[in-house]
Amino acid sequence: MQTQDAINSGITGSPKLNYLTNGFTLKSWLLTKDHKRIAIMYLITVSMFFFAGGLYASAIRLELLTPASDLLESGTYNKVFTQHGVLMIFFFLIPSIPAVLGNFLLPIMIGAKDLALPRINLLSLYIYWIGGALTVYALLQGGVDTGWTFYTPYSTTFSNTYVMAVGLGIFINGFSSILTGLNFIVTVHTMRAPGMTWFRLPLFVWAMYAVSLVMILGTPVIAITILLLALERLVGVGIFDPSIGGDPILFQHLFWFYSHPAVYIMILPGMGVISELISNFSRKKIFGYEFIAFSSIAIAVFGFLVWGHHMFVSGQSIYAGLVFSFLTMVVAVPSAIKMFNWTATLYKGSISFDTPMLYALGFMGLFLIGGLTGLFLGAIGLTVHLTDTYFVVAHFHYVMVGGQVIAYLGGIHYWWPKMTGKMYSEFWGKISAMLVFIGFNLTFFPQFILGYQGMPRRYASYPEEFQVLNIFSTAGASVLGVGLIMPVIYLGHSLLYGRAAGDNPWMLPGLEWRTSSPPPTENFETTPIVTWEAYEFGEESGLDLDEARRRDLAIVS
Amino acid sequence: MQTNSWVPLFPDQASTFAWQVDLLYAYLIIVSIAFTIPIVVAIFYFGLKYREKEKYATPDEMHGSIMLETVWSIIPFVVSMTIFLGGAYVYYNQFRMPDDPAMEVYVVGKQWMWKLQHSTGQREINELHIPVGRKVKLTMTTEDVLHDFSIPAFRTKTDVVPGRYTYLWFEATKAGKYHLFCAEYCGLNHSGMGGFVYVMEQRDFDNWLSGNVSGQTPVEQGRDLFENKLGCASCHAGGPQQRGAKLEGIFGHEVKLVGGGTVIANEEYIRNSILNPSGQVVEGFQPIMPTFKGQVTEEQLVSLVAYIKSLSGVTGTTSTPAPPPAANNAAPTVPPKADRGNTNPQGSNPNAPTANSNR
Amino acid sequence: MATHADTLEHPHYHPPGLQHQFEDMKQQEESVAIGMWMFLVQEIMFFGGLFTVYLVFRSKFPMAFAAGSNHLDAFWGGLNTLVLIVSSLTMALTVFYAQKGNRNMQVILIVLTMFFGAVFLGVKAIEYTDKYVHGFVPVAGWNKKIKEDATAGHASATPCWEVDHDAPVVEHPNPRGDFQWTDCSLVAQAVKEQNHDPNGTYLTQAERVGYFASNQIGASTIDVNLIDANKFRDKVQIFFWIYFVMTGLHALHMVIGLGLMTWLLWKAWVRTFSHDYFAPVEMSGLYWHFVDIVWIFLFPLLYLLGRHFMH
């Protein structure tokens, strides 16, 4: 077990014990209350789900290489795209940044010893594991073919697959994100170090706070919806069954009431990471701090009002459609504000193009396209044509992969030296960042054109005239795949052979860079007292830049 | 016909509102470029000009600017409102049902086929033949799960929902053969659920109408079902020892029921007696008839009703066949007026024409 | 845990129950309280989804809901409401005595609270059994199976709209344990009123579709004979489905509450709580009150609303 005395030993100057070296037994990991260890366990699990989802993605792309349904028959294909969606959304995208980076960094960034409720934090990890295990079990037993959206009455009455087991897996997993969100909100409210006022919080923390609000308010609704669905399957009667007067459209309302905000659960943390990266790698205070902070909250709030834009052609009334379209347009504004502020931050900065910054710039390009195509889909007259086509697929991959995954990778690279104490190969990092960017665009840009031509999504076979663009897409996917596998190799390599990163490799002012790498179990040897603003690079930050330059010279020679 | 260019960027424009959708699309592309280019150029320019020249330099501090923030909040807002208005205008055209559709087609989705019936009686499966330049209104429902009737060349689609009706209309502008897709995931053979829409010049369409009526009128199909396929005739053929009620001449007349009530034998009664026979049993008969719920499709029901009507000398189906009434037991939550006129073939509703314009 | 030595006010004082991540008790209490409130917020959203479902269907089929709610026993429901309100009082007093550090009163009041909780669940069990016997459980095969011959000669020919709703419920033969509903007199009454006053709204649009053999939207007069007993039964079945899901999940929360109380009882027994440390009692109390409040909403919505249709 970890001991609290470990920190004392640090204070007295004996060899530092960090969170990784503080206990090596399996028990010391499985029963830990240390947010950093929990984050590392999340990191490993989330990565496994990401690559499992990725395998399904490659199966999809290979099948779509030819118009006929030849590699996978349509029943298998249906399961493959469903499972790709379920794993990626519920088990990778939603927990990735909050549960890995948020868990690891949020307490350090606000100068706390741990999250406010460490046992709840561990509980949320176990819930995630149980939900994940149940889902994986269902997938191994035969899988599920309803689409990740579980639309009724197909999911309740017609599908013969393991809908209930997967549904329960997602239901259970939901409580993991509820508990994480709850923990973050409490932590931000009560655990800030002396002097760490709300407006000195790093923007990543603001984003986490906004995300936590969405998790707490939205996730219970999907939980009850999925529970109703599972019960209906179990007993063969329920409120979504049209044959007794139930309402299948009500399911869509309840589902999207959560699942639209869930999109913001996926993208808001990404925006938080990008705010960190842009500001820190320009060595300049972020432009319009308050506007970025409040736009996160605005997105979280407005996100709850636009679920109906997933249902423009579901038969809802014309007027509901118009209102949801209007509100959707309004949500575009806070995102645009962030975009402009990030660009303005670069102005007159001192921009270094390290790997995390490459990811951040890639994010800006991809999110720009993802966001703007969101306007296409919010324009109600146009989306009648575009909805349920590959245009939608391309749009949300630009936001989810181009936004969230890229930001996550940027964040992992940025904080890797802090988490592990080791530096990865900058050369391979840059290569992989560029491969991801190029591969991603090759994969998904053709799908916009396919969508406008009318190719419906979730098709195992398609008319021949769509083949050329599908070939482009599959080719791009292979580049993207290589780009995504590379970090596993060179990051893994750095664990064994990487050079020691030092406490503050980039000489940045954030609190996380003011403790050792990897940090000790309770993060800081003494509780820090914050006297500087967020992203303060000047004198007040107290960074010893000359010392850093001498250090760099020493490394070079 | 599908264009033969190597990678067509646009599908055919073949309906009256297709150009509006394309125009909106073009406007959005222009807006996107107008936002993307300056930002990307700025990123590259700043990236080059302000790239790190000295390690750990500390550039001058710069605070936000309320003026700039206001400007770049208001501009996207105004632009997004123009998009909203454009979208609303096009949408309104797409979904305000025409007051006087020249043609009505009833559509029933089923895993995994589209069954269509013209108001003139022609039936088609996975194919829809329509003339150029006439407004066509579709009234759609499904026997099982959600589907979506989608014709990219017409730039329109709508979900088909069990237990309620949804509507779609279009007016084709160009003769040709266009894809028909199911765009809402519906299970195993989802990608196979589709076909073609054939838009024909009026003359060709008239030829098609007269020449290709699939051999049978609804009445003939109903007789086939009644006598052969479903075996109704074994009880209802009308002989003295028959276990089932005689059906000749009952249509439109009062029928005495077990328990003393009476009911007019209209389409609804016949339909209901097939699906739920023990509900209203005719006096003098035992409630022994099995239910045919689940065994007859909605369109077979239409044929059966037409046939039974013909036994009484009534031939109503050719003018306005009853569309499949709100799927059995269903409880549509369509707006109040939505079902008027369509599901009430008796026409008890004076507002029918205008009411049809709502979805 | 000497790491807290730099906590200036009490250099060597470490209050019982202070966890390592906090600087002092005030911070811990604040954190736990905010955490608990956040948990309750998510609970509200959880039940909120259910209440939404209830409202949607109630506004579509008010008569089926009135008919169903008339077969819930307002006496048992009312008694349970009373029981829960009293248990809230004993819970609040528990917190009070925990703050005082009065162990005996804590123990007595926790036991009382648990007793009332158990009474609540017992009454629920009585009610559920009643539904089981009468065939009101909305799942096929989950009701009491009553053989045909048990009530031989029972006339099923009475149209559903002529059933006297004030008559005692008879046991219909129910060989497969299906959901049973034979009374649609409410619909007949509404049809009569609607025909009498064509401009009034005695039937919602959904009801005009959902209760009749054919679609009655726009019909100026409605034939009573068109009432479809099975279709009406389906809508009442939806009511009972919602009833069982809502009260079932609520009862599950009660069971969890009883678990919490057991734990508190043990903690109180070993004199854990004092003026300085009573947060667990307070937080469990919040939870208990929340579960009570959910019932305060469930009771009128399920048992009372719509009863005036009948009398």
Could you give the ipTM of this predicted complex? 0.90
In which residue are the tokens 């053999």 written? C213
Cα first-last separation, chain C: 69
Alpha-carbon span B128 to B58, nearest angstrom: 69
Q: Which tens digits make up the pLDDT trace of B103-130? A: 899 999 988 899 999 888 888 889 899 9
Q: Which residue from A minimizes the CA distance to B75?
A: A333
Task: With CA atoms as reference, report the closest residue to A354 among A428, A287, A286.
Answer: A428
Residues in CB range of B26: below 8 A, 6 or more apart: none
Q: How many cross-chain Cβ pairs, A to B, lie less than 8 Å apart? A: 315
Q: Are strands B127-131 and B123-125 parallel, antiparallel or unpaired?
A: unpaired
Q: Is B103 helix (H, G, I), strand (E, B) or coil?
A: strand
Is A318 in contact with B359 (Cβ distance < 8 A)?
yes
Does an H or E element contain A65, and which?
none
**Residues of chain C contacting residue B272, judged by C-beta atoms under 8 Å apart:** 213-214, 228
HSE of A472 in the Cβ direction (CA atoms, 13 Å)? 16
pLDDT surpasses 90 at B317:
no
List the single residue in B35, B158, B186 with the smallest CB-CB distance to A154: B186
In which residue are the tokens 């066509």 written? B136
Q: Is B214 helix (H, G, I), strand (E, B) or coil?
A: coil
Task: With CA atoms as reference, report the closest residue to B177 among B126, B226, B227, B211.
Answer: B126
Structure tokens at B324: 């499949």
In which residue are the tokens 């508190």 written? C264
* Contact residues, B window 3-32, toward A, CB-based 8 Å cutoff: 6-11, 20-21, 24-25, 28, 31-32
pLDDT surpasses 70 at A123:
yes
Alpha-carbon span A553 to A549, nearest angstrom: 6
Alpha-carbon span A302 to A324, nearest angstrom: 11
pLDDT surpasses 70 at B344:
no
Is B330 in contact with C213 (Cβ distance < 8 A)?
no
Q: Which residue from B minimizes the CA distance to A379?
A: B87
Which has the higher per-residue pLDDT, B241 or A532? A532
> Which chains have 3 or more CB–CB distances shorter than 8 Å to chain C?
A, B
Length of chain B equals 359
**Residues of chain B contacting residue C226, judged by C-beta atoms under 8 Å apart:** 263, 268
User: Does residue C235 belong to the interface with chain A, where contact is any CB pair within 8 Å?
Assistant: yes
Task: With CA atoms as reference, report the closest residue to B308 among B250, B260, B351.
Answer: B250
Q: Give the pLDDT score at A6.
A: 39
pTM of the model: 0.84
Q: Are strands B127-131 and B194-200 parallel, antiparallel or unpaired?
A: parallel
Q: Which tens digits make up the pLDDT trace of C158-196? A: 777 777 666 666 667 778 888 888 888 888 888 888 888
Q: Are the beta carbons of B60 and A348 closer than 8 angstroms?
A: yes
Is C245 in contact with A228 (Cβ distance < 8 A)?
yes
Strand partners for B105: B118, B138
pLDDT surpasses 90 at A370:
yes
Which has the higher per-residue pLDDT, C256 or A243? C256
Q: Give the pLDDT score at C156.
A: 54
* Confidence class for position C42, pLDDT limits 50, 70, 90: very high
Q: Give the pLDDT score at C169.
A: 62
For residue A518, whether the previous peptide bond is cis, meaning omega lies within 30 degrees of 0, is yes
Alpha-carbon span B335 to A102, nearest angstrom: 46
Q: Are the beta carbons of C127 and C72 closer than 8 angstroms?
A: yes
pLDDT surpasses 90 at B74:
yes
Which has the higher per-residue pLDDT, A429 or B164? A429
Alpha-carbon span C73 to A508, nearest angstrom: 68
Q: Give the pLDDT score at B281.
A: 80
* Contact residues, C window 41-100, toward B, CB-based 8 Å cutoff: 60-61
What one-character-per-residue DSSP string does B294-332 give? TTS-HHHHHHHHHHHHHTTT---TTTSPPP--STTT---
Q: Which amino acid, one-letter code, is at C297? A: F
Q: Looking at A480-484, A547-551, C240-244, which range is the least confident one? A: A547-551
Task: With CA atoms as reference, report the closest residue to B82 among A379, C189, C292, A23.
Answer: A379
User: Does residue C218 belong to the interface with chain B, where contact is any CB pair within 8 Å?
Assistant: yes
Q: Which tens digits make up the pLDDT trace of C88-142? A: 999 999 999 999 889 999 999 999 999 999 999 999 999 999 999 888 999 888 8
pLDDT surpasses 60 at A312:
yes
User: Does residue C197 belong to the interface with chain B, where contact is any CB pair within 8 Å?
Assistant: no
Alpha-carbon span A187 to A115, nearest angstrom: 6
Task: With CA atoms as reference, report the closest residue to B330 among C208, C229, A228.
Answer: C208
Q: Which amino acid, one-letter code, is at A331? A: V
Mean pLDDT of chain A: 91
* The most confident of B233-237, B303-307, C26-30, by mean pLDDT: C26-30
List the single residue in B325, B333, B355 with the smallest CB-CB distance to C214: B325
Task: With CA atoms as reference, report the closest residue to A146 among A251, A64, A54, A19.
Answer: A251
* Residue B269 CA, distance from chain mean position: 26
Is B343 in contact with C215 (Cβ distance < 8 A)?
yes
Q: Give the pLDDT score at C168.
A: 62
Segment B40-61 mean pLDDT = 89
Q: Which amino acid, one-letter code, is at C42? A: Q
Q: Are strands B166-171 and B135-142 parallel, antiparallel or unpaired?
A: antiparallel
User: Does residue C210 belong to the interface with chain B, where contact is any CB pair within 8 Å?
Assistant: yes
Structure tokens at B68: 């700039």
Task: With CA atoms as reference, report the closest residue to A91 among A168, A174, A16, A153.
Answer: A174
Cα first-last separation, chain B: 30
Alpha-carbon span A151 to C50, nearest angstrom: 18
Q: Are the beta carbons of B72 and A340 closer than 8 angstroms?
A: yes
* Residue B133 CA, distance from chain mean position: 19
Backbone angles phi, psi at A500, to 5 degrees: -65, 135
Exposure b/e, B308-335, CB count within 10 A at least 16 = b: bbbbeeeebbeeebbbbbbbbbbbbbbe
Is A285 in contact with B63 (Cβ distance < 8 A)?
yes
In which residue are the tokens 């199911």 written? B182
Does an H or E element contain B151, and which?
strand B147-151
Exposure b/e, C142-152, CB count within 10 A at least 16 = b: bbeebeeeeee
User: Does residue C220 belong to the interface with chain B, where contact is any CB pair within 8 Å?
Assistant: yes
Structure tokens at C97: 């005595």
Alpha-carbon span A364 to A358, nearest angstrom: 10
Alpha-carbon span A518 to A420, nearest angstrom: 6
Does an H or E element contain B168, and which?
strand B166-171
Structure tokens at C87: 């248990």
Structure tokens at C232: 């009406």
Q: How far is CA B166 from CA A303, B140, B324, C290, C300, in A?
A: 28, 5, 12, 42, 36
Alpha-carbon span C232 to C228, nearest angstrom: 6
Q: Give the pLDDT score at C170.
A: 64
List the single residue in A339, A340, A449 with the smallest CB-CB distance to B9: A449
In which residue are the tokens 């009644």 written? B226
User: Does residue B235 belong to the interface with chain C, where contact is any CB pair within 8 Å?
Assistant: no
Task: With CA atoms as reference, report the closest residue to A121 among A53, A203, A193, A212.
Answer: A212
Q: Give the pLDDT score at A252.
A: 94
Cα first-last separation, chain A: 41
* Contact residues, B window 113-152, toward C, CB-based 8 Å cutoff: none
Alpha-carbon span A144 to A141, nearest angstrom: 9
Q: Give the pLDDT score at B82.
A: 95
Alpha-carbon span C204 to A14, nearest angstrom: 79
> Nearest-5° angle of CA A155, CA A158, CA A162?
55
